Amino acid sequence: MTLVEIRKPDFDVEIEIVYATPDNFTGAPVYARPGCYLHEKAASALAEAIRLAGILDLRFRVFDALRPTEAQWALWHHTPDPEFLADPNRGSPHSRGVAVDLTLIDTAGNDLDMGTGFDAFTPLSHHGNPGVDAGAQRNRHLLMGIMTTAGWDFYRNEWWHYQLFNSRDYDLVQDADLPEPMMPPGAANGPAGSSGGTQT
């Protein structure tokens, strides 16, 4: 597998990897460093999305991209909610390097209103929820239009999540597969108490 690091100047995006900070739903950093990688096919699709957004004087803020399998287990141990997290026994598109969490920003660097924040585990995060006002709905549709035109599939429960079609055709990525580790030493890659659980 060829991984591409998403960084400037190759990719004109703002990188804000929330799982490398305590500002995420677990309340603590999950990553030891804020790496941002994608499979080469996903990186190409992101480049096309960046081009399309630029035509509208918009850019992206990336919250998460490749998520090592160890990180998916850490998130699942904290909140095993299949409505918003992929069961790590099956593997997440993030852990295959073919998913990205992101939002649109304007020329001043302000996030467009999407009705909820990133990783809001609530039905208000679902696409088409009538409880979200019209302005935020338009912004979600704009994000979806750009991303799907660039070749991404969407996930109906999370306005911020996009993945390549046939995401399960790609191999899972562990922290040891990365050019530089993202996870803290000793991060478990399996059920609690296991140092090597298998994933399918």
**Residues in the chain with pLDDT < 70?**
192-200
Cα 192 to its chain centre, rounded Å, is: 24
16-51 tens-digit pLDDT: 999 999 999 999 999 999 999 999 999 999 999 999
Tokens of 176: 């040891």
Query: Is 158 a known active-site residue?
Result: yes
Amino acid at 82: P
Asked if 81 contacts 120 with a C-beta cutoff of 8 angstroms, the reply is no
| Cβ-contact 87, 164 below 8 angstroms | no
Q: Which of 16, 40, 48, 158 is the catalytic position?
A: 158
Q: CA angle, corner 80, sides to 95 and 74, nearest 5?
A: 50
Instruction: Work out the burial of residue 166: count CB atoms within 10 Å of its CB; fewer than 13 is exposed, 13-18 middle, 19 or more buried.
Output: exposed
Distance CA 1, CA 15 (A): 23
End-to-end CA distance of the chain: 18
Please answer whether residues 24 and 17 qualify as being in contact, where contact means their C-beta atoms are separated by less than 8 angstroms.
no
> Considering Cα of 74, then 64, then 9, then 147, what sign does the dihedral take?
positive
Query: What does 26-73 look like in DSSP terms, one character per residue?
Result: TSS--SSS---EEEHHHHHHHHHHHHHHHHTT-EEEEEE----HHHHH
Domains along the chain?
3-177 (3.30.1380.10)
Q: Where are the alpha helices (DSSP H) in the chain?
A: 40-55, 69-78, 134-149
Distance, in Å, from the CA atom of 162 to the CA atom of 98, rounded to the nearest integer, reads: 9
| pLDDT attached to residue 192 | 57
Report how far residue 190's alpha carbon sits from residue 139's, in angstroms, rounded to the nearest whole number.
Answer: 37
> CB–CB of 63/101 below 8 Å?
yes
